[in-house]
């Protein structure tokens, strides 16, 4: 299988194919990012005597730019993987790649495909993709302070959820958790249904709410901090929900107070509440039942 890295930008796609590993021959191509992109990629591959089944495509998860291309490539028969931009940048530094251009990034992603062999990406259901697009549009409008348009998009979001039994069920389950309001519930629904997480810990790691520690010998030692890998907008919503939870949610308040009594810094305790919210959200969707702390313990421990 030939690894192909694609650097996706608004107007162009940079492609790089490895023929014989990272030290062998490479082929590169720059094409326009438009509705003919997949057709042009297929034409380029035919010139290399390849078909979609022979190719493993890796691109970074860059939001709106990558989603359409990834879905169309998947539907055309390609094996597609999405790389977290933070992870791929760490990988590039590990390879000694300091230059950052579109062409270099495409080569780096091809190397990532060859060496890391990331798992296959499966596109989420159409109703999940549409809900995600509506939520992103709402966030953009909030930033522009267009109140009338925000109200309009919020009506569309509510109507879309109401029209889909699956979305309505999941939304009801998520908002059965005290401190998970409508906005956090909808965003968690999109994330959890767009990825095949095998555990609550994996979901928390994706969202960047797991602690990381730096320790090396006796000279390098730092306080554990949140990894902050993943979507910052959703992490901000988790943070605000955790702040409310430590006041109004008895379970969360007990967790917070207990950690503070053990001498943990307040922000560490808040981070633990953010993780707990992710675990609970994962748990109610996994079990298909409304929130019950006791019933979730078994599924979250497996």
What tens digit of pLDDT does each residue of 166-188 get?
Answer: 999 999 999 999 999 999 999 99
170 and 236 housed in the same domain: yes
In a domain, 159, yes or no: no
Q: Per mean pLDDT, which range of 5-9, 151-155, 202-206 is the poorest?
A: 151-155
pTM of the prediction? 0.71
Domain count, the chain: 2
Give residue 68's pLDDT.
87
Task: Please check the confidence at residue 217 and state whether its pLDDT lies above 80.
Answer: no
Distances (CA, A) of 8 to 42, 64, 129, 232: 16, 10, 19, 20
**With left for phi above 0 and alpha for psi between -120 and 50, is residue 58 left, alpha or beta?**
beta
8 and 106 housed in the same domain: yes
Using pLDDT thresholds of 50, 70 and 90, give the confidence band for residue 213: low
Give residue 220's pLDDT.
43
97 and 10 housed in the same domain: yes
Last residue of a domain, one of 116, 140, 156: 116
Q: Per mean pLDDT, which range of 69-78, 100-109, 225-234, 258-267 is the poorest?
A: 225-234
200 and 90 housed in the same domain: no
Give residue 298's pLDDT.
59
187 and 258 housed in the same domain: yes
Q: Are strands 220-221 and 55-60 parallel, antiparallel or unpaired?
A: unpaired
Task: Please check the confidence at residue 207 and state whether its pLDDT lies above 90.
Answer: yes
Q: What is the CATH number of the domain that holds 30?
A: 3.30.420.40
190 and 285 housed in the same domain: yes
93 and 198 housed in the same domain: no
Question: Sign of dihedral through CA atoms 276, 281, 287, 293?
Answer: positive
In a domain, 122, yes or no: no
What tens digit of pLDDT does each residue of 145-167 get?
Answer: 567 777 888 899 999 999 999 99
User: What average pLDDT score do residues 2-16 get?
Assistant: 94
Give residue 162's pLDDT.
95
User: What average pLDDT score do residues 87-107 get?
Assistant: 89
87's CB contacts (< 8 A; 6+ apart) are: 229
* Residue 88: domain span: 2-116
73 and 170 housed in the same domain: no
CA distance 272 to 277: 9
Give residue 225's pLDDT.
72
- In percent, the amount of the chain with pLDDT more than 90 equals 64
Cβ atoms of 56 and 44 closer than 8 Å: no
What tens digit of pLDDT does each residue of 53-75 get?
Answer: 999 999 998 766 788 899 999 99
In a domain, 284, yes or no: yes
18 and 93 housed in the same domain: yes
Last residue of a domain, one of 116, 142, 157: 116
Question: Sign of dihedral through CA atoms 113, 119, 123, 129?
Answer: negative
In a domain, 144, yes or no: no
In a domain, 171, yes or no: yes
Give residue 224's pLDDT.
65
70 and 193 housed in the same domain: no
């Amino acid at each position: 299988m030939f690894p192909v890295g694609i650097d996706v930008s608004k107007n162009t796609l940079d492609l790089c194919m490895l023929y014989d590993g990272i030290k062998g021959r490479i082929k590169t191509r720059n094409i326009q990012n438009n509705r003919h992109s997949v057709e042009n990629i297929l034409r380029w591959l035919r010139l290399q005597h390849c078909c979609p089944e022979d190719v493993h495509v890796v691109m970074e998860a860059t939001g709106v730019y990558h989603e359409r291309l990834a879905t169309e490539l998947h539907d055309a028969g390609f094996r597609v993987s999405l790389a977290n931009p933070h992870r791929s940048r760490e990988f590039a530094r590990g390879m000694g790649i300091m230059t950052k251009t579109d062409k270099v990034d495409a080569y780096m992603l091809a190397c990532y495909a060859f060496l890391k062999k990331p798992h296959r990406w499966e596109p989420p259901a159409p109703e999940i993709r549409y809900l995600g697009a509506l939520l992103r549009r709402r966030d953009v409008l909030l930033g522009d302070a267009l109140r009338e348009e925000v109200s309009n998009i919020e009506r569309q979001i509510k109507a879309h959820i109401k029209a889909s039994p699956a979305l309505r069920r999941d939304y009801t389950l998520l908002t059965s958790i005290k401190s998970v309001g409508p906005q956090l519930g909808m965003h968690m629904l999109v994330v959890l249904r767009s990825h095949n997480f095998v555990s609550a810990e994996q979901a928390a790691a994706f969202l960047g709410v797991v602690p990381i520690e730096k320790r090396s010998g006796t000279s390098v030692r730092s306080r554990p901090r949140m990894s902050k890998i993943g979507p910052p907008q959703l992490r901000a919503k988790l943070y605000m929900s955790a702040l409310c939870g430590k006041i109004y949610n008895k379970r969360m308040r007990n967790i917070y107070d207990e950690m503070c009594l053990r001498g943990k810094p307040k922000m560490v305790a808040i981070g633990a509440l953010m993780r707990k919210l992710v675990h609970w959200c994962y748990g109610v969707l996994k079990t298909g039942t409304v929130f019950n702390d006791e019933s979730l313990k078994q599924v979250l421990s497996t």
